[in-house]
């Protein structure tokens, strides 16, 4: 009896090749490759940004080291550069803006998704999404011409009269300030919270609501105990989106924050953010050390954004673990 010798791997190589060809003809292999490249491009762009900022900030890293982050001195004439006042201003404006906008945005989203008539909800959502598309410089103009005068005439005097004993509301108020920037920034990020949270709440299955109502819950109890816990992950996502917008906002904040490179203990004092100082001084920077210090500020902003978002994500995970117990 004659035997036929087969080359090693031929039993598995031919079927595998035929399977790949069939997948290629069906589009699976092409789709997998294209989507993999798209996903990889995000990591590539992020890596290129970090590499560019790291290489472009060699001089201040060599001269100041870690002191660049801890120093509060920013004097271009003397060649002294420190990022602490700008990091402080960025963190404070973003956090205070979130404290103002999250309750407003979540309350509006609950009304539009659960309580408002459908036509009214659709019309208001359309207007809210238009607000999200307004250029930031428009918010800056409105902040200077509308928000700052209102703060000077009524809101800040009331706060100083009732809460003036608190350090954050002490000292003189000249209009442009950290508090003004927080108000304008909160108005800018509310549409993101409302739009995303509304869509998440509307995606909650109807059975979830009907089950709670069948057990005798009121509309508010159904929303609070059945709908919001089901949609909490998406709501957290809307807050993260607003946080990212708040940390990186430039023009509107630059126009109303006062642009003072000092760490202020009061929200009524002028301040500065990392994005604002880069926008204000990048084109006027003279000398390699000055220019590279601004680039390193961009690297600090990138790191600050990553740290704050990581802390927020840990809070979300811990909250979710407690709710699931």
Confidence of residue 264 (pLDDT cuts 50, 70, 90): confident
Q: Rounded to whole angstroms, how far apart are CA atoms 240 and 313?
A: 9
Beta bridge partners of 258: 271
Residue 206 token pair: 């109807």
Question: 47 and 189: one domain?
Answer: no
For residue 9, being part of any structural domain is answered with no
How much is the pLDDT for 25? 58
How much is the pLDDT for 321? 56
For residue 232, being part of any structural domain is answered with yes
Question: 279 and 245: one domain?
Answer: yes
How much is the pLDDT for 24? 58
Q: Decide if pLDDT at 1 tops 50.
A: no
Neighbours of 133 (CB within 10 A): 7
For residue 4, being part of any structural domain is answered with no
Long-range residue pairs from 156-165, CB within 8 A, at least 24 positions apart, any chain: 156/268, 160/268
Closest CA to 316 of 234, 222, 244: 234
Closest CA to 301 of 88, 63, 140: 88
How much is the pLDDT for 11? 47
| Domain membership of residue 39 as a residue range | 16-55
Q: Among 7, 25, 55, where does a domain finish?
A: 55
How much is the pLDDT for 90? 92
CA 102 to the chain's CA centroid = 13
Q: Decide if pLDDT at 322 tops 60.
A: no
CATH code of 108's domain:
1.10.3720.10
Question: 287 and 183: one domain?
Answer: yes
How much is the pLDDT for 320? 54
How much is the pLDDT for 129? 85
Confidence of residue 92 (pLDDT cuts 50, 70, 90): very high
Question: 118 and 22: one domain?
Answer: no
Average pLDDT of every residue of the chain? 85
Surface-to-core class of residue 191, CB atoms within 10 Å of its CB (0-12 exposed, 13-18 middle, 19+ buried): buried
Q: Rounded to whole angstroms, how far apart are CA atoms 137 and 250?
A: 9
Average pLDDT (79-92) is 91
Question: In this structure, are residues 121 and 165 in contact, taking their beta carbons and an 8 Å threshold?
Answer: no
Q: Rounded to whole angstroms, how far apart are CA atoms 252 and 237?
A: 24
For residue 305, being part of any structural domain is answered with yes
Of all residues in the chain, what percent carry a pLDDT higher than 90? 34
Question: 245 and 271: one domain?
Answer: yes
Strands (E), 161-274: none
Question: 126 and 26: one domain?
Answer: no
Q: Decide if pLDDT at 3 tops 60.
A: no
Q: Which residue has the tokens 């031929």?
A: 10
Q: Decide if pLDDT at 298 tops 80.
A: yes
How much is the pLDDT for 306? 84
Q: Residues in the chain, how many?
A: 325
Question: 45 and 156: one domain?
Answer: no
* Number of compact structural domains in the chain: 2
Q: Which residue has the tokens 């508010």?
A: 220
Question: 35 and 136: one domain?
Answer: no
Question: In this structure, are residues 178 and 263 in contact, taking their beta carbons and an 8 Å threshold?
Answer: no
Neighbours of 118 (CB within 10 A): 8
* pTM, rounded to two decimals: 0.81
Q: Rounded to whole angstroms, how far apart are CA atoms 178 and 168?
A: 10
Question: 30 and 118: one domain?
Answer: no
Question: 94 and 207: one domain?
Answer: yes
How much is the pLDDT for 96? 94
For residue 7, being part of any structural domain is answered with no
Q: Rounded to whole angstroms, how far apart are CA atoms 20 and 29?
A: 7
Residue 224 token pair: 């609070």
Average pLDDT (129-143) is 89
For residue 3, being part of any structural domain is answered with no
Average pLDDT (293-315) is 83
For residue 11, being part of any structural domain is answered with no
Question: 32 and 77: one domain?
Answer: no
How much is the pLDDT for 106? 93
pLDDT in tens, 158-179: 998 898 888 899 888 988 999 9
How much is the pLDDT for 27? 62
Least confident range of 68-82, 195-209, 310-324: 310-324
Q: Rounded to whole angstroms, how far apart are CA atoms 303 and 306?
A: 5
316 vs 175, which has greater pLDDT? 175
Q: Integer distance in angstroms from the first to the last C-alpha of the chain?
A: 70
Question: 128 and 274: one domain?
Answer: yes
The DSSP result for 122-172, as a single string, is HHHHHHHHHHHTS-HHHHHHHIIIIIHHHIIIIIHHHHHHHHTTSGGG-S-
pLDDT in tens, 16-58: 656 656 655 556 677 778 888 898 998 899 899 999 999 999 9
Average pLDDT (137-156) is 92
């Amino acid at each position: 009896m004659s035997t036929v010798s087969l080359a090693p791997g031929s039993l598995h190589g031919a079927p595998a090749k035929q399977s790949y060809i069939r997948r290629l003809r069906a589009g699976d292999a092409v789709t997998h490759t294209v989507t993999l490249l798209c996903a990889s491009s995000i990591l590539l762009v992020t890596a290129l940004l970090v590499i560019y900022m790291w290489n472009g900030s060699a001089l201040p890293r060599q001269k100041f080291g870690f002191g660049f982050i801890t120093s509060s001195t920013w004097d271009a004439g003397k060649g002294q550069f420190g990022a602490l006042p700008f990091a402080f201003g960025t963190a404070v404006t973003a956090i205070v803006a979130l404290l103002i906008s999250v309750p407003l945005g979540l309350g509006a989203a609950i009304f539009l998704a659960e309580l408002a008539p459908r036509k009214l909800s659709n019309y208001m959502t359309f207007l809210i999404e238009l607000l999200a598309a307004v250029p930031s410089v428009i918010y800056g103009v409105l902040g200077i011409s509308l928000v700052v005068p209102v703060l000077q005439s009524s809101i800040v005097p009331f706060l100083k009269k009732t809460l003036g004993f608190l350090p954050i509301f002490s000292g003189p108020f000249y209009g442009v300030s950290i508090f003004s920037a927080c108000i304008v920034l909160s108005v800018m990020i509310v549409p993101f919270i409302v739009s995303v949270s509304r869509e998440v709440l509307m995606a909650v299955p109807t059975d979830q609501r009907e089950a709670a109502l069948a057990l005798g819950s009121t509309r508010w109890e159904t929303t609070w105990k059945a709908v919001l816990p089901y949609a909490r992950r998406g709501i957290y996502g809307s807050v993260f989106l607003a946080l990212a917008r708040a940390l990186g906002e430039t023009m509107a904040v630059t126009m109303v924050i006062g642009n003072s490179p000092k760490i202020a203990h009061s929200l009524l004092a002028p301040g500065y953010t990392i994005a604002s100082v880069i926008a204000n001084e990048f084109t006027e920077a003279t000398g390699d050390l000055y220019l590279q210090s601004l680039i390193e500020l961009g690297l600090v902003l990138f790191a600050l954004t990553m740290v704050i978002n990581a802390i927020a994500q840990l809070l979300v995970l811990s909250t979710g673990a407690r709710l699931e117990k």
